[in-house]
Amino acid sequence: MLTSLTGAVESGLLYALMALGVFITFRILDFPDLTVDGSFTTGAAIGAVMTVNGTAPWIAVLCAFAGGALAGTCTGLLHTKGKINGLLAGIIMMIALYSINLRILGKPNVSLRNMDNFFNNVSVMIVMIVIAVAVKLLIDLFFKTDIGLSLRATGDNARMIRSFGANTDVTTIFGVALSNALVATSGALVAHYQKFADNNMGIGMIVIGLASVIIGEAIFGARTIFRATLAVVLGSLVYRIIYALALRIEWLEASDMKLITAVIIIFALVVPSTRRLIKQKNIARKRTAEMLASLGKAPSGGGR
């Protein structure tokens, strides 16, 4: 039990970077980016192939970051300059990346067994805690800069920002590039952790990322950027722990995990909405009672 929970926490920290990337497009930019499923594998492919060819693992991970940024830039250009719907632009890039990733790998999968990797002779949990916290704090600082504030404003009201002379195309491209760079970095780290990269390992990553964001916001709230990014990281951990516990249920199989993920997301979406609705009804009921009480106490206006 302890071993599986430790593994779940490690996985949660590894996927936290991917969840932060999804948070940038999904929450900050309000951009439905499906490039994630492809860029995650791109990062894994670059990180694995470069390591197998003798590149230092940390350099391979940095190159994966750059590869993901390039993929995100292409999606942003398709949307802003090609005037293609954001959802469709992400789907097009995801499809293109499937073939590109296969080209990078050279075969369906690449093994890193008996190779030096990013986590050699170090504690995965300690390293990933340091990386996840560092990335979270850097993102917090970034969103306080002029570019970061422009990015947030673009997601809130792009038309208004354009009226002030800001170039929303640039901020959108930059935001999508940063998002996919984080996703690809997560992919490279996961490949080093699992000691292999597979061309299909990115399938469903957007769902996992959204699950982490939604669960984190539902449990921990997201009133400020600091709290929102913290909620995303913790949401990734909670999702992986739930995932690990679900796998221990005898009648559940590994093939049921996508269904479990869907149920978790539905639950995380429905519960806050239900709580909000109940709260609104209670407030309305209280106001109605106060109004009736005030009417009952008011003078009838009859004769003396």
pLDDT digits (tens, 9 = 90+) for 9-21: 999 999 999 999 9
* Domain 2-248 annotated CATH 1.10.3470: yes
- The number of beta carbons lying within 10 Å of the beta carbon of residue 120 is 9
Residues of the chain above pLDDT 90, percent: 53
Contact criterion met (CB below 8 Å) for 239 and 218: no
- What is residue 102's predicted lDDT score, i.e. its pLDDT? 94
pLDDT > 70 in the chain, percent: 96
CA angle 171, 174, 177 (to 5 degrees): 150
DSSP 26: I
Spell out the domain ranges in the chain.
2-248, 249-296
**Can you read off the two tokens belonging to residue 104?**
């990078």
Is it the case that residue 297 has pLDDT exceeding 60? no
The per-residue pLDDT of the chain, averaged, comes to: 88
Q: Which of 276, 254, 257 is nearest to 265 (CA)?
A: 257
- Give 175-190 as a DSSP string: HHHHHHHHHHHHHHHH
Q: What is the pTM of this model?
A: 0.87
Query: For residue 303, what pLDDT band results from cuts at 50, 70 and 90?
Result: very low
CA distance 268 to 215: 5
Handedness of CA 169, 175, 178, 184 (dihedral sign): negative
Instruction: Give tens-digit pLDDT for 133-175.
Output: 999 999 999 999 988 988 998 888 888 887 777 788 999 999 9
